[in-house]
Chain A
């Protein structure tokens, strides 16, 4: 699976994450900042809940009519002289893009940020075809020069690194001599990247929203790099997940407002670029040739299922920025380029349960994600649905758990059994009880007591107390 990152079992990756104090410091700091800024931006807008409801409605409507809007989009792109390719799989998408690049005899490719090209793992394919591929988003650039360190956050891919670590990467790889001051670092990167834009043959971009009515694509950035990637090279290839589409400019505006506020707490980002097809007569810049690659890669299998709402996602990472689990384990622990709550829902759907079966359980179902999501995806409910599918359809739950839950079902549905079981509990726990505490419990209690004390079941249950009290009342 191309979207897979890292090696080792989930447990080992988590262990590594938990012990990476640099990463945890960086993530906790970023979460505080981004959360506060998002709340302030929402507050400033005023009627945030109405905006969310509108965002949800737009995304739902678009998904219900996805085939129509995709058709409209491709017609309009073609009308403007662009080429559209529907790729069912990652391989098909990669092959198409490689063919375009080879036909153009391209040697140098500049890219702006795109999660879907990470998902299909495009870069190695282009490099194998003899191209130099340069990421121009600063975060992506840092990761690329650091021996292709994978992204750990869907909006800020290098979030797991602090500025000292970035300085060290620059020193080792770019012969950088200055300090860890972010401005100096950015300036250095900009110098290197400027050259790349001017000499690149092909520019590749992602797509925040495609607009069906006009065949345009919208790119939202803070660095302006997408403008250069699309303005300078002769050929432009835009890669989009098939659900990243809106009917008209009007809906695009609503979603961009939700996106920039939710992602970084800004009213608007520094650059919002709308591009329509190749350079027209009279245009001063823009590519001579434009290709739009629409990637399915498992998305149409999600349509029409109980998981459809996950396709409403606009990749703002608000859910990631409030997730208390992500906070402690970091993005790489998820083993997927999609991390955090959205990653825990999406990765098993796109990549299968074999690789991602732990992710739906790596959540307390605290619903912080659901509360933050600007398009009202019920993320914690979808995580719960995954658990249900794993138990009922996939049959992947451990036998011991199945038996325990069967017993639970029987016990909790019968007051007689419950009463008997709860009456026997204190004596069953007797051997493990010291001072009304269990410090080293048996069975499932073991994992609990490795970390915390467990209260021993009382000799008198609440129901016994209540019963005796009522009796006493009656006697008196």
Chain B
């Protein structure tokens, strides 16, 4: 199966390992990966800050870049959600609405793709330790992907899974919120880390680099011994 990878700007620039793991994992599961070099960013930073005009330029560029794809897969619930929002954003635009809809219809978040399209729940991964999972807001509430990551994690050999208390509360990332509303964001991420510690997890796993950058950056600042991993890295551990 041919998969077109939308790697996201955060992974391209800061979390390259997540991108590498995604490629290796999908290849192992029998996919052929294509990476359109023209890809940039889904437009979310500008869109969420209210700069819709600017964001739309980025979105049109992404629509063009991925127009040829059969399946678009991305290791980010939030960026997948953004692609899914495009038709809504271009509503009423006779040229771009149908093109946006075509893009949205073939976009999948990584775990969703593995479970729903490839129909695989055990990817043969191994990782020893106690882990908990951060349910990122856009992925669970807007994209509606809740079970896929759980199904996959349950089958990771050696991984003891513990649910995260108050998992429904946002980690405090929210894109520019994390810098615009720093003091509130700090309280939110500290409460999140408190709950991670409460269950004595060695690993915090997530499916969105934004949240992981926030939680991980704070954990690192505080020098806590919790390892933060993207789910692609976990599923690619052997």
C-alpha spacing A14/B65, complex, angstroms: 43
| A185: interface (CB < 8 Å) | no
The answer on a CB contact under 8 Å between A365 and B217 is no
Contact code string A385-402 (vs B, CB < 8 Å = 1, else 0): 011111110000100011
Q: Mark A374-410, 1 if CB is under 8 A from B, else 0.
A: 0000000000101111111000010001100110111
Do A370 and B20 form a contact, CB below 8 Å, given A387-B49, A409-B57? no
Q: Is B46 an interface residue (CB 8 A)?
A: yes
Q: Cβ of A366 and Cβ of B46 under 8 Å apart? A: no
B189 located at the interface, meaning its Cβ lies under 8 Å from any Cβ of chain A in the complex: yes
Least Cβ–Cβ distance between B137 and chain A, in angstroms? 4
Output the least CB separation between B138 and chain A (Å). Answer: 7
Residues of the A chain whose Cβ atoms lie less than 8 Å from the Cβ of B54: 405-406, 408-409
Q: Which of A388, A450, A465 contacts B19 (CB 8 A)?
A: A465
Asked if A447 CB lies within 8 Å of chain B CBs, one says: yes
Is A363 positioned at the interface, with any CB of B under 8 Å from its CB?
Answer: yes
**Contact digits for B1-27, partner A, Cβ 8 Å, 1 yes 0 no:** 000000101011111100110010000
> Judging by beta carbons under 8 Å apart, are A460 and B137 in contact?
no
Binds B, one of A51-59, A102-110, A201-209, A323-331: A323-331
Q: A457–B13 contact, CB under 8 A?
A: yes
Contact with A along B123-163 (1 / 0, CB 8 A): 00000000000000110011000000000000000000000
> Which B residues touch A11, using CB under 8 A?
183
**Is there a chain A Cβ closer than 8 Å to B41's Cβ?**
yes
- A461 contacts chain B at the CB level, 8 A cutoff: yes
> Are A418 and B40 within 8 A (Cβ)?
yes
Q: Within 8 Å CB of A268, what residues of B?
A: none
A15 and B183 form a contact (CB under 8 A): yes
- Is the C-beta of B61 less than 8 angstroms from some C-beta in chain A? yes
Contact residues in B for A406 (Cβ distance below 8 Å): 54
Do B217 and A412 touch (CB < 8 A)?
A: no
B170:A415 contact, CB within 8 angstroms: no
Partner of B57, one of A324, A392, A412, A419: A412
Q: Cα distance A448–B189 when bound, in Å?
A: 12
- The CB with the most chain A CB atoms within 10 A, among B55, B65, B182, B183, is that of B183
- Asked whether A413 lies within 8 Å of B61 as measured between CB atoms, the reply is yes
How many residues from A make CB contacts under 8 Å with B?
Answer: 67
Q: Which of B169, B188, B221 contacts A452 (CB 8 A)?
A: B221
Contacts of B29 in A (CB 8 A): none
A422 within 8 A of B: yes
The digit string for B186-218, where 1 denotes a CB below 8 A from any CB of A, is 111101000000000000000000000110111
Pair B221/A453 contact, Cβ less than 8 Å? yes
Q: How far is the CA of A327 from the CA of B186 in the complex (A)?
A: 13
State the CA gap A462–B76 with chains docked (Å).
15
B14, B48, B141: the one contacting A387 at CB < 8 Å is B48
Q: Report whether B173 and A364 are in contact in the complex, using a CB–CB cutoff of 8 Å.
A: yes
For A328, list chain B residues within 8 Å (CB).
184, 187-188, 191
CB distance from A429 to the nearest CB of B (A): 10
Given A412-B58, A413-B40 in contact, is the A384-B184 Cβ separation under 8 Å? no
Is A364 within 8 A of B179, CB to CB?
no
Smallest CB-CB separation from A450: which chain B residue? B182
User: Which chain B residues in 26-67 approach chain A with CB under 8 Å?
Assistant: 35, 37-41, 43, 45-55, 57-58, 60-61, 65
Q: Which residue of B lies closest to A436 (CB)?
A: B14
Residue-by-residue, is A314-348 near B (CB-CB < 8 Å gives 1, otherwise 0)? 00000000101101110000000000000000000
Q: Which 8 A-B pairs have the closest CB atoms?
A: A364-B174, A409-B54, A387-B50, A452-B217, A412-B58, A462-B19, A366-B137, A366-B170
Known contacts A324-B188, A415-B61, then 5 further A-B pairs from the complex at CB < 8 Å, ordered by chain A residue: A408-B51, A448-B179, A451-B221, A462-B12, A462-B16
Query: What are 18 pairs between A and B in contact, CB < 8 Å?
Result: A328-B184, A361-B176, A364-B177, A366-B137, A368-B170, A387-B49, A387-B50, A408-B46, A408-B58, A409-B54, A411-B40, A415-B39, A448-B182, A451-B182, A452-B221, A453-B216, A455-B15, A462-B7
Interface residues of B (CB under 8 A from A): 7, 9, 11-16, 19-20, 23, 35, 37-41, 43, 45-55, 57-58, 60-61, 65, 137-138, 141-142, 168-170, 172-189, 191, 213-214, 216-218, 220-221
